[in-house]
Amino acid sequence: MYPLLQLRRLLLLCLYLSAPWLCAVMFKERPAPTSPPTLFQLTNRAGYIFSGTVLSVERTQPKTQNEVATVRITFRVNQAVRGVSSRQIFAIREWAGLWDASERYRAGEQVMLFLYPSSKLGLTSPVNGNFGHFKMDRNGKMLLDAQRLAALQIATPVRLPAALKKIPVDSRDFLRAIRRVGER
C-alpha cells in the first residue's frame, strides 16, 4: 500500500507541475486575424445576418457561481438575411468580457451584423471579432477602408480617389452582395 501512496503523490506532483502548461495548451487564446475575412467567409460562418438599430444595452450579473456575466443587446431588425425576420425585435447575449476593452454597441446606433450561431450557453458574438460588425450612418451607408472593401470583394460603382480613406457603401448594395454570396 505504501508504494501505491507514493505513486499517487508522484502523479499528483506531476499534474501540479504540468498544470500551467496544460492550461496554456487547452485554453490558448487564438490570435486575432491579420487580414479581414472575405464576404463568403463571413457569410458562411454566420448564424445571424441582419442590419438593425440598437434599442438597448444592459449588463447582467451572474445569479449563480456557474453563470458568467453577460451583456444583453436588443435590436430592431431592419433588413434580415439569415436567422431573423425583418421588423423583429431580436436580443442577443454576449460574454461581458468582450466589453472590458471598449463598448461595442450604443442605443440608437445602426449596425450591420454577422453573428455566430448561439452557443450552448446562449451567447454569440460577431464573426471574426469586429470584422463581423459594421457601423452604419443615418443614411444607411457604411464607411469601409479600401483594404476591408477589397477583402470583402465588393465592387464600388465608381472609382474613388486613393486619398479617400473611407469608402461609402450603401447597405442595400451590401445586402445584395451577401445574398449573391449565399447563392453560391
Q: What is the pLDDT along the chain (184 residues), one digit of tens a residue?
A: 566 556 555 544 444 444 444 444 433 444 454 577 889 999 999 999 999 999 999 998 888 888 889 999 999 999 999 999 999 999 999 988 887 766 689 999 999 999 999 999 899 999 988 889 999 988 888 888 777 777 887 665 555 555 567 788 888 888 888 888 876 6
Q: What is the CATH number of domain 39-138+171-182?
A: 2.40.50.120
Model-level pTM? 0.74
Domain limits, the chain = 39-138+171-182
Transcribe the chain into DSSP letters. -HHHHHHHHHHHHHHHHHHHHHHHHHTPPPPPPSSPPPHHHHHHH-SEEEEEEEEEEEEE--SSTT---EEEEEEEEEEEEESS-TT-EEEEEEEGGGGSSS----TT-EEEEEEPPP-TTS---BTTGGGGEEEE-TTSEEEEEHHHHHHHT---SSPPPTT-SEEEEEHHHHHHHHHHHHT-
